[in-house]
Amino acid sequence: DVKVTQSSRYLVKRTGEKVFLECVQDMDHENMFWYRQDPGLGLRLIYFSYDVKMKEKGDIPEGYSVSREKKERFSLILESASTNQTSMYLCATDTPHTGELFFGEGSRLTVL
């Protein structure tokens, strides 16, 4: 079974703080994704990575950056957190054969 682990389930940060959200997958998959989920807005893609050091902006990249130094690890960075970044953040990877997405359990971030 594919396992996607997100380092923090719940975080509370202050406006202006730098925030790191870490994600690790154990299947040597090339593709990794960061989404945010908000009520009434569904899942929106923030960033996508298709290999080490390779990334693409998703639909809502503003205010975020990412890092993929190792294949198994994909980090989402909020350089200066703002209250409108309070959200559930979901990391995912997909299988090369079926394209099925496997998600982590999510990181609930609150920015005060």
Minimum CB distance to other proteins, residue 90 (Å): 5
Nearer to other proteins, 38 or 79 (CB): 38
CB of 74 to other proteins, least distance (A): 14
Q: Which is nearer to other proteins, 50 or 82 (CB)?
A: 50
* Residue 80: CB minimum distance to other proteins, A: 26
Q: Which is nearer to other proteins, 17 or 27 (CB)?
A: 27
Q: Write out the residues near other proteins by the rule CB under 8 A.
A: 4, 9, 31, 33, 40-45, 48, 50, 56, 90, 92, 94, 96, 98-106, 108
Cα–Cα distance measured from residue 97 to residue 36, given in angstroms and rounded to the nearest whole number: 25
Closer residue to other proteins (CB): 42 or 69: 42
Q: What is the DSSP string of 17-83?
A: --EEEEEEESS--S-EEEEEEETTTEEEEEEEEEETTEEEE-S--TT-EEEEEETTEEEEEESS--G
3-state secondary structure of 10: strand
